[in-house]
Amino acid sequence: MKSTLTTLILALLTALPAHAASCSWSAKMEEDEGGSVMTASVCGGPKGDAHLMLTCFEKPMLSYDLGAAGGQLEPGISGSFTFKAGDKSVTQKLELEAMYNYFTAELSGPTDPLLSLLRGKGDVTVSADKYGQASFPLKGSGAAIGKVLAECGKGQGGEAD
């Protein structure tokens, strides 16, 4: 199923830049290694090819795809990213998921400060010294994130027994 997810991600990444002006949060079932998983996502960045994605198994998992600006990254790296919306900011260490070439972090749960920030209004800017910055709209993020959090701990997706 990894190839299905890879195909889905590649299809989304190649289709989204043409629609950069219409980037908005959505939540829908997507295929993962062990089945379907509710995923909230939004595109952003200068070309609309960067993505923030949230899934949840036992705990929420945030993924950040740098888009074309990221290039091919070296396996095993991590980075400190600052998420800023309005007058609030949260700095989070993200680890590179080499298979998909995006950064991920497991969050503490539904009350994680980063999730609170992402459920705000306006835009969020994600920045790191080494990787530049990208902005994402927050319109619709509360509803999309809420759908994902409602699925936490229900045992969908992930590794099959």
State the DSSP string of 94-151: EEEETTTTEEEEE-SSTT-HHHHHHTSSSEEEEEETTTEEEEEE-TTHHHHHHHHHHT
Kindly give, in sequence order, each residue whose CB lies less than 8 Å from that of residue 123, ignoring residues fewer than 6 positions away.
85, 135, 136, 137, 138
Residue 32 is assigned to a structural domain of this protein = yes
Identify the burial level of 148 via C-beta atoms within 10 angstroms of its C-beta, where 0-12 means exposed, 13-18 middle and 19 or more buried: buried
The pTM (predicted TM-score) of the whole model is 0.81
For residue range 65-98, what is the model confidence (pLDDT) as tens digits? 999 888 888 889 999 999 999 999 999 999 999 8
* Residue 159 covered by a domain: no
**CATH number (domain holding residue 25):** 2.60.40
pLDDT at 129: 92
Q: Is 49 part of any domain? A: yes
Taking only the tens of pLDDT, the chain with its 161 residues reads 433 333 333 333 434 443 344 789 999 998 877 788 999 999 999 999 999 999 998 899 999 999 988 888 888 999 999 999 999 999 999 999 988 899 999 999 999 999 999 999 999 999 999 999 999 999 999 999 999 999 887 754 444 33
CB 23 within 8 A of CB 44: yes
User: How far is it, in rounded angstroms, from Cα 4 to Cα 10?
Assistant: 10
- Provide the edge-to-edge strand list for the sheet that holds 132-137: 26-32, 35-44, 50-56, 60-65, 102-106, 88-97, 78-85, 123-128, 132-137
Task: Note whether residue 161 is domain-resident.
Answer: no
* Structural domain total, the chain: 1
**Is 93 buried (19+), middle (13-18) or exposed (0-12) by CB count in 10 A?**
exposed
* 156 is a domain residue: no
How many whole angstroms separate alpha carbon 34 and alpha carbon 53? 18
Is residue 63, in this structure, part of any structural domain at all?
A: yes
The domain of 73 spans 2-150
How confident is the model over 130-140, as pLDDT tens digits? Answer: 999 999 999 99
| pLDDT at position 159 | 40
